[in-house]
Amino acid sequence: MSRSLKMGLVARALWHIVRYDLINGAFGFKRVHRTVLKQKVQNPQESAELQAVICDAVAIASCFYWRPVLCLQRSFAATVLLRKYGIDASLVIGYRPAPFFSHAWVEVNDRVVNDSPAYKERLQVLCTV
């Protein structure tokens, strides 16, 4: 994959991180949830390389953001980008009731792609978008 395409993905990822903050700040999580639901998979394809490049682009973009980037922001950006590039991704929010802990991650074909698979094993799923 070309360097210019990777840099373009980093820029798009950064935009989606900012977009999450704007939507959540102005309208709340309900609108964030609806935004992810609206993003349909375009030109379905399976590409492990593309999945990795997109998740890496989100991680790199997180480094350039001026505020700490939370797991939900990273997962929002990754899910929207993966779907835009034809990969059927799901944003998953899980939790542990006691002591309370929550986390968000992205799955493709029931496999965690942007985080540790341990979260899927140790947390109960609250929501899948």
Q: What is the pLDDT of residues 46-87, one digit of tens each?
A: 888 999 999 999 999 999 999 999 999 999 999 999 999 999
Pair of tokens at residue 88: 């059927």
Say how many C-beta atoms besides its own lie within 10 A of residue 7's C-beta.
Answer: 12
- Residue 4: the pLDDT is 83
- Residue 120: the pLDDT is 92
pLDDT per residue as tens digits for the range 15-52: 999 999 999 999 999 999 999 999 999 788 888 899 99
Between residues 37 and 4, the one the model is more confident about: 37
- Which residues are within 8 A (CB) of 72 and not within 5 positions of it... i.e. 6 or more apart? 20, 32, 93, 104
Cis peptide before 97 (omega within 30 of 0): no
pTM of the model: 0.92
Pair of tokens at residue 69: 């980037």
